[in-house]
Structure 1
Amino acid sequence: MNQQVALYERAIDALNRRQWQSAWAMSQKLLESAPNHGGVNFVAGISALEIGHMQAALVHLRRSTQLSPHRADYMAQLARLLVSLRAFVEAHKYADIATEKGVEDAVTADTLGVVYSRLNEHSKALAAFEMATAKQPGNAVFQYNLGTSLLFFGRLDEAEEKYQRCLELAPDYWRAYTSLAQLRTWSVENNNIDFLTSRLEHAEKSLDGLLHVNLALAKEQEDVGDHVAAFKSYVRAKSPQKQARGYSSAKDEEIFNALRQGFDAVEDFSGGSDHEEPIFVVGMPRSGTTLVDRIISSHSSVHSAGELENFPIAVKRLSGSSTNSVADAGTLSALVDMDWAALGRSYVESTRPGTSGFPRFVDKLPHNFLYVGHIAKALPKAKIIYLRRDPMDTCLSNFRQLFALSSAMYDYSFDLLDTGRYYLMFDELMAYWGGRLGDRLLEVRYEDLVENQERESRRIIEFCGLAWEEACLNFEQNSAPVATASAVQVRSKLSRDYLGRWRRYGLDVEPLRALLGAKASYP
């Protein structure tokens, strides 16, 4: 028995030291004699999760919560695993159970903050991150997570303070440099360009440092009007990522072609679920989708659910596809045996409880433009709004932006011309959906919205089947959190400052204009 206790203590120590393989090996030895020990199953579950044995992790973490139902930390880690597996409803359940049981340590609080963020429960996430930093103020990661949560609520000064504190604690926490640069518009008199330049030599020793410090530098160089230097910084930041990720436009072209070919055989876009709550806002990223979401969700009958991954996950699960990717050509074109009503129901149910308090909700995942046909077929009463923005501005903005590194969906954005090729595929696909679905879709042009806000806002609200409310004109007063790249921008009134920004880059964007050809001139 003493040997078993000693082995268990060593396994816990290995777990705390992030020695995952050692912790896994010791937990397997312990399970031979103590299969019903909650702590042993917990060690096995966490170590399995960290080394990528997802099925084993799920088995052992479930078992740990059953054997030790009083442990909030076990519940939180199971929720973390479930949200990574995109089992959102169940993840929400275990996160709430953990919260109700009472969180005693900073790691569990931060874990719950991450889970709630993924579930678009940002008020709960903020409370959890505040708890984590209160319990362990010297942890740089906890400070960064709290800063990002504060940013989502528009509390920019507090977010800046947390990011600065993060860098004081960990100067190599590279993401914080980009986050700080994005918080405000810098001036010639007030900027961090010299500081960021001084960090380049050290930063460029790592791929993450190279990416984030150059992106931060590019943002501040833009702000002070040095667009030639900014473009060079963007290229220095992004080119190594393209190489590391091995992106080729051919893979995306295969997906776009498969979608059109698959839906060519679909003649009838009725017969799905009769749910009418969802309003989908789609389009290229950085084309105004967040702005339209804020306009609609300023209505008293509408909840902003954020950028949900739920619809793509529902398609994946019902497609019968066993590939690793959520959005590959085979999955998106697997339409013959699709139970469309089940797809619609499954999607709406997966958004609960977050969307259950309002008659309507907005799902503004931009890349749902790939799923317009699926949405139209599965949810005939759902509204679909798609954004268009000047092609040059759209492509440049995508290239300038850092999207989720964990998703291959945005791999095109590490090269300006790859982004242009992706835009052309998007443009062709949206023309296809428009031809198939007609007035089931509402096209909104970002420039039209800027130039005539009330007219376009009224048109959007009418399309959604809602009575007009003046609050929809004052979207910047909407206090709901924003967890997108536009989190700062949508806190202000509409401005013409973002129109035609590509022209500031002169010769550097001429290759893009040549690639887009006639499409480069916005009609």
Structure 2
Amino acid sequence: MKSREDLLTQARQAINQRNFIGAHKACVMLIQHYGDDAHAYFLLGIVHIELGHINKAIRLLQKSISLARRPRTFVYLAKSYALKGDMLSVLEAAGEAPVEQLDRSLDLDTLGGALSRVGDHTRARPYLEKALGLSADNPAFYYNYAVSCKCAGDFEAARRSFERAIALKPDYYQAHFALSDLAAGQCGDARIAQLCALQDTLRDHVEAGLHLGHALAKEYEAQGDYGAAFAALEQAKARKRKQFAGAGARFQALFDYLEKPAAPRHFNRTGVTSDRPIFVVGMPRSGTTLVERILSSHSEVGSAGEIEDFGVAVKELCKTSSNQVLDLATLTAAEAINPAHLGERYLERTSYLCPNNARVVDKLPFNFFYIGLIRQAFPNARIVCMMRHPMDTCMGNYRQLFSVNSPYYAYAYDLREIGLFYQRFAGLMQALAAQHSDHVRLQSYEALVTQPESEVQDLLNFCNLSWQPQCLQVEKNPAPVSTASKVQVREPINTRSIGRWKHYAPYTPDLQQLLTSDE
């Protein structure tokens, strides 16, 4: 029988070789012969993170911690919670792994990445900086640091770090896209040639093609060549959309359910009286981040960012077996939820957010699917739904590279699917706003940016907030931004994005016809 140390070495080597079956066997053998072992449970947790079995990984890491409270174990527990979108648990785990107690660069980068993933870029930065100090030749560390800098508004540090990542790893396609997204047009034709050459080299890699195609579109846009930009997007998305075959039908089924009279709208049951959460919803790229910045500039309001806590609370209470947070089975099961229990669970999950603010903005665009449930759980809450010109919204979705494997954005790889999604979204929001006119505000993006003072006053009144002039100065809001609007919202409110879709008018006749067919 091998010694305990030999089995641990065997498991570590197997993990490094991505031989997860071998690693699992070695750890189980160790526990069977030598008893519970903190290191073995830790390695089993790592194996299950790699396999995508996150709940199992959490249980194994917690078992390891019960045997030995090592900061390193809390690092990977934080990573696991970040993968589930559980910000509170990430912060609690990170608190057990202070930066001064970690001396492995990978552990530091992992915890920094977990904090960045849940939007805490301020706390992430010391971990990421120390990781770079220990391993200055790791391109992934530069990339992760650059992403955090970009979200915090330090664009020059972000640019330098993206460039350093690419210098160390020339085919680092994620860094290439991030650099073009941040600073397109600075290198002109040379940059386009570089991206085209890399695209050819990685032609068989679907995800690389998606990133590089979006990077090229940014560069072509900077040159005013919108035909080439559109062609780059079409080519990049063509193969990726096959991965989400059937997504359109699944979304249509959600809308069908929500539009039926039998959908969950049982307001005879009492929720919680709190008006602390302000929900900002809408299609992505419709101005939700702008409204979040306006509201969170108010002295009474903090920003939670794009948190998934309401949907996760619904999922927890429904206990449906599906892997996705949002699906038809879960929405159907939610009809039986006690609204008070849902409201209390949401407040419990978000109690740590913005403790010095009476109100907090929850800005997850897709929370519009839960408006009926939000109204039950929080009958006094205010819900702001952004409405933007259909073509600007749809082209904004098509031009944006969202989280590539998220089911939320599965519609965004095909223009027709985007158009159909928008039509159903707009119809549902009109109906809900009419039904709940005192609590659901349809906010026009165009009106907001062309008449900011009067619109912001009306918006604050709707949210039962006093007028404060700093709400007009979103560019002075220092809070980090993790959304696709992270660059734009550092600027004063402006009208430059109105009508941007017209650059693509010659290439989108079918989408234009679809969106005007029912007018």
TM (norm. structure 1) is 0.95
3-state SS in 1 of match to 2:394: helix
Q: Deviations over 1:252-280 (max 9, x none)?
A: 11011112226556352762112221111
Q: Deviations over 1:195-243 (max 9, x none)?
A: 2222221132311221111110011101111001110000011111101
Maintained 8 Å contact 1:269/1:380 = no
Aligned to 1:26: 26
Maintained 8 Å contact 2:86/2:309 = no
Distance 1:312 1:39 in 2: 34
3-state SS in 1 of match to 2:272: coil
Aligned-residue offset at 1:187: 6.1
Q: How does 1:7-406 map to 2 (within 5 A)?
A: 7-69=7-69, 71-99=70-98, 102-186=101-185, 192-261=191-260, 264=263, 266-268=265-267, 271-406=270-405
Distance 2:389 2:269 in 1: 33
Maintained 8 Å contact 1:203/1:213 = no
Distance 1:142 1:100, change over 3 A: closer
Distance 1:100 1:343, change over 3 A: farther
Deviates more, 1:186-195 or 1:336-345: 186-195
Distance 1:219 1:265, change over 3 A: closer
Distance 1:167 1:263, change over 3 A: farther
Deviates more, 1:351-360 or 1:362-371: 351-360
Maintained 8 Å contact 1:277/1:361 = yes
Distance 1:209 1:85, change over 3 A: closer
Aligned to 2:435: 436
1:64 maps to a residue whose letter is S
Maintained 8 Å contact 1:126/1:149 = yes
Aligned to 1:414: 413
Deviates more, 1:108-117 or 1:224-233: 108-117
Distance 1:187 1:9, change over 3 A: closer
Report % sequence identity.
35
Distance 2:116 2:351 in 1: 15
Distance 2:489 2:24 in 1: 46
Unaligned ranges ≥5, structure 2:
none
3-state SS in 1 of match to 2:106: helix
**CA RMSD across the alignment:** 1.9
Aligned-residue offset at 1:125: 1.4
Maintained 8 Å contact 1:262/1:335 = no
Maintained 8 Å contact 2:48/2:57 = yes
Distance 2:268 2:397 in 1: 32
Distance 1:169 1:488, change over 3 A: same
Deviates more, 1:413-422 or 1:13-22: 13-22
Number of aligned residues? 519
Distance 1:79 1:285 in 2: 28
Q: Deviations over 1:97-139 (max 9, x none)?
A: 1127722211111121122123322211122212221221211
Aligned-residue offset at 1:297: 0.6
2:380 maps to a residue whose letter is K
Maintained 8 Å contact 1:290/1:486 = yes
Distance 1:244 1:171 in 2: 27
Distance 2:118 2:100 in 1: 20
Distance 1:55 1:287, change over 3 A: closer
Distance 1:27 1:265 in 2: 47
3-state SS in 2 of match to 1:427: helix
Q: Deviations over 1:72-98 (max 9, x none)?
A: 111111122233234443332112111
1:450 maps to a residue whose letter is V
Maintained 8 Å contact 1:72/1:101 = no
Q: Deviations over 1:366-414 (max 9, x none)?
A: 0111111111110112110010000001000101101112311111100
Maintained 8 Å contact 1:221/1:230 = yes
2:468 counterpart of 1:448: no
Maintained 8 Å contact 1:262/1:333 = no
Distance 1:501 1:263 in 2: 39
TM (norm. structure 2) is 0.96
Maintained 8 Å contact 2:263/2:335 = no
Distance 2:386 2:55 in 1: 39
